[in-house]
Structure 1
Amino acid sequence: MKYLKIFSILSIMVATQSCLSADEDPVPVPPMTGSEVNVKVGGPTEPNQVWIDLSDYTNPAVNSRTDWDLGFYTGDEFRVIMNGSLAMTVIKIPNAADITKVKDADVTSLKEIAQVGTFDAANMKYIDNPNGDFLNQTSGIDAIKENDADNPVYLINLGREIPSAANIGAGSVSLSGDPRGWKKIQILRAQNGYKIRYADLNATGTDIKEYIITKDTEYNFSFFNLKTGTPVKIQPKKKRWDLAFTTFTNEVFMGPTTSAGSYFYADFVTTNTLNGVGAYQVSVTGNLEQAYTAFKLKDVEPAKFVFNDHRAIGDKWRTTTGTSANPVPFVYSDRFFVLKDAEGFYFKLRFNKMKDENGNRGYTNFEFEPL
């Protein structure tokens, strides 16, 4: 977060008597005025994930979507998430207790169904819960059991590479390049963390790799890259981010209640619900500029905040369908959002664009103001 630090001769004289240790965080303060932010999504292949703290918006954390594969929860529970920005999936390998004995030929049929975008509602079981409630999800990777033998062997689809940016038409995106391949994995508990066993599908014996992932409680997750076999820092510390700009594996519907299963989205925004960030949409019937300017802290409606679904903003700020008079894609001009951050500060924010001056996607701009 952004901090106000005041130093004076007096403070130096009494420093040894201060109850604030060198290791403690100073009290965070929100920015005094609003600002406009150009999000470094990276263009029409949307190669980056961007993590923004509204109280320190000039220092976003940025990583390539392919920097990580799995996130290991650092709280009391033992849960593991996948990188939804790559359209990853996972499926249990039936009757597999020994990872060394699983071969490529054993999982051929599983590869056909563990996919995103098949327009089959049943494929939701192969992804993480899109609402972000990984602690209670019954899809994706099961909670890691204390008894090693109770933890299954999985086939994991590493999703898609970031494609080349060449020959992408104005207004379009290209999110999915070549397949990143498959791994077999098994995750066990370890002291203060996890042990992951992983390998290529035909690997046996000493070709099975192992790594101990330690819970770092300053962060929500400890992240790991299966291709490089190394841990990696992705998200900022727990309360040091509010919004994430990313591609996203979501659920798509053919009608109000008819699921078509998992689908891959561009231009998506998630909120840090795990650490108390909430948001809601304010719909405007008249002039957006006037309504946004007039909105003050007294107008906030606490009951409307969404704290249990990190898609509170999601794709609601833009559309990819429209009319000839308003060609797609475009940012909605009839809404803005209110956000309560991890420290309890309130903000209003609105989105201004999702394209550059040449009409290329992946150039998001938004503005915000503390309330």
Structure 2
Amino acid sequence: MKKNILLQLFCLSFVVFSCSSDDDNVSVIEIPAVESAVLDIESGGSNEPNQVYIDLSTEKTTVVRRDSWELGFISTENRVVLNSSILVSAVKLDGINDIDAVSEDTSLVTPMNLKSLNLATFQSVDVSVTTVEELLVGLPIGYSMYGDPENNISFTDSSIGDLDDTAIGDIANSETDAEVYVVSLGSEIPNDPAEPGSVNHTGDHRGFYKIKVFMDNNDYVLQYAPLGENSHSQVVINKNETYNFTGFSLANGTEVDVEPNKGNWDINYTSVYSYYGSMGGMNAGLTYSDYVVHNTLNGVGVYMVLTEEPGEGEDADPVATGAPSYEDFTLDDINENKLVFNDRALIASGWRSTSNGAKSDRYYIIKDTDGNFYKLKFTALLNEQGERGYPQIVYDLL
């Protein structure tokens, strides 16, 4: 299934040592980039329990349970991100600094004027909340979750991965200045498989926590507790610039290895993805399956090549765009100006049709963390039994 990989492993499984009479010099053979591969992505089936990080140049994958963490502490900036793959969201309680005093009964210092989506009419409605209990109604990600895009209020991170647009905003420099956040831990991963062709990835709600985050020199200090507790735990999280972020599980109280080394992955089949955004002109909490992001925090760029467009009229045949086919695309065809480095959701779920599987009218050009150019296409969404959550990709070095 994997072209050339056995030959590469044979050729690269040794180190050449060259010695002189007065010193020992060690020469290590550089590992060439994988030239071509067919890769079955271990998403885990119709419950899509896994996030899968893929390094194209080595064909190595890293599989992580997507419910193993909730918070990510960024290494290059003072920022904290949320695990969108289990629908984590967060809201700041303005003017409230005592984490132990916060409960569902806590009154907000200032009422929050928000928007929600009326599911009966699919019209936006105004909502005013004055207590934490009222706020919790619209904190979990769903169509009717609270927000206010006109006033830049969102309880999720930016869909494109912009670190200047995170639900947990600027990190305070002291415990005194840090304000309390309430965090929705998102949704459980169900165990029951879905019907063939469908997915079942969002289960029961995982509960609410309260947190405070502040900096101690270059380290994060995290205080956290279940929302109903009157005492908290505290942990120091050190930055490690080998990685984009350090993961943390509030539910388990531990740091978690999530992403591999930031230079060792290019795309992440994150399986499930969620954010607050526009849906047919209305704003709502949205959740997608079969989702792919790329490593924008370490310089990976992507663009899509579309070979066909819909014809005019309901029953019209597709029309060729004039772009080369996947097989015919070469290094000379690359347009580097099209590469997108600042939107991690360029591939997203647009590579597949929920009714027809992987789309054959598109493929992607990727500049990886090593500067290699690849062409990549998705070739499967379903397994032979018609079950969802079994994606496959083919890619070639240009």
TM over 0.5: yes
User: Counterpart in 2 of 1:323?
Assistant: none
Residues 200-349 of structure 1: pairs in structure 2 closer than 5 A: 200-204=226-230, 207-246=231-270, 247-255=272-280, 258-285=281-308, 286=320, 291-320=325-354, 328-349=355-376
> Hey, what does 1:141 align to over in structure 2?
168
What is the DSSP-based 3-state SS (H/G/I as helix, E as strand, rest coil) of the residue aligned with 1:234?
A: coil
Amino acid at match of 1:42: G
Cα distance in 1 for residues equivalent to 2:22 and 2:331? 37
Cα distance, 1:196 vs structure 2: 0.4
Q: Is the 8 A contact 1:288 1:334 kept in 2?
A: no
Q: State the identity %.
A: 33
**Distance in 2 separating the partners of 1:101 and 1:143:** 22
SS in 1 for 2:304: strand
Q: Which residue of 2 aligns with 1:187?
A: 213
- Correspondence for 1:66: 67
- String of CA shifts for 1:292-321, please: whole Å, max 9, x gaps: 11100000010110101001211120123x
Match of 2:160 among 131, 155, 158: 131
Q: How much has 1:92 moved relative to structure 2?
A: 1.3
**Residue aligned with 2:262, SS:** coil
1:351–1:148 distance in 2 versus 1, CA, 3 Å: same
**Equivalent residue of 1:293, what SS?**
coil
Contact 1:51–1:241 under 8 Å retained in 2: yes
**SS, match of residue 316 in structure 1:** coil
Contact 1:121 1:259 in 2 (8 A): no
> Secondary structure of the equivalent of 1:71?
strand
Letter in 1 for 2:142: G
The residue matched to 2:191 in structure 1 has which SS? coil
Deviation per CA, 1:279-303: give whole Å up to 9, x if none. 1000113599981111000000101
Tell me the TM-score normalized by structure 1: 0.87
Structure 1 residues 14 and 80: CA distance shift in structure 2, 3 A = farther
User: Residue 55 of structure 1: CA displacement?
Assistant: 1.1
Bigger helix fraction: 1
Asked if the contact 1:69/1:225 (under 8 Å) is kept, the reply is: yes
Instruction: Give distance in 2, aligned partners of 1:219 and 1:275.
Output: 9
Q: Matches of 1:14 and 1:304 in 2, distance apart?
A: 53
Amino acid at match of 1:61: T
Three-state SS of the structure 2 residue aligned to 1:105 is: coil
Matched residue of 1:148: which SS?
coil
Give unmatched runs, 5+ long, in structure 2: 1-7, 107-131, 309-319
Rg larger in structure: 2
Matched, 1:169 2:198: no
Which is richer in strand? 2
For 1:79 and 1:152, how far apart are their aligned partners in 2? 15
Q: Tell me the amino acid that sits aligned with residue 366 of structure 1.
A: I
Structure 1 residue 28: Cα displacement: 5.2
Other structure's SS at 1:303 match: helix
Q: Which 10-residue stretch deviates more, 104-113 or 211-220? A: 104-113
Shift of 1:269: 0.4
Structure 1 segments unaligned to the other structure (5+ residues): 321-327
Equivalent position of 2:38 in the other structure:
36
Deviation, structure 1 residue 179: 0.8
Judged with a 3 Å threshold, the aligned counterparts in structure 2 of structure 1 residues 252 and 331 are, in CA distance, closer, same or farther, namely farther
Q: Distance in 2 between matches of 1:120 and 1:157?
A: 12
C-alpha change, 1:30 and 1:94, in structure 2 (3 Å) is: same
**Aligned-pair CA distance for 1:249:** 1.0
Secondary structure of residue in 2 paired with 1:274: helix
Contact 2:139 / 2:146 at 8 angstroms: preserved in 1? Answer: no
Distance (Å, rounded) in 2 between the aligned partners of 1:28 and 1:144: 40
Deviation at 1:115, TM superposition (A): 2.3
Structure 2 Cα separation of the partners of residues 15 and 276 of structure 1: 42
Query: Separation in 2 of the partners of 1:288 and 1:169?
Result: 39
Q: Quote the offset at 1:29 in angstroms.
A: 2.9
Q: CA deviation at 1:221?
A: 0.6
Give the number of aligned pairs.
348
Q: Which of 98, 122, 147 is the aligned partner of 2:147?
A: 122
Amino acid at match of 1:273: T
Distance 2:294 2:386 in 1: 27
- Give 1:114 deviation, angstroms: 1.1
CA contact (8 A) 2:381 2:388 kept: yes
Deviation at 1:26, TM superposition (A): 7.4
User: 3-state DSSP class of the match of 1:85?
Assistant: helix
Change (3 A) 1:74 1:15: farther
Cα gap change, 1:183/1:27 in structure 2, threshold over 3 Å: closer, same or farther?
same
Amino acid at match of 2:170: A
TM-superposed deviation, 1:232: 1.1
| Partner Cα distance (2:21, 2:226) in 1 | 60
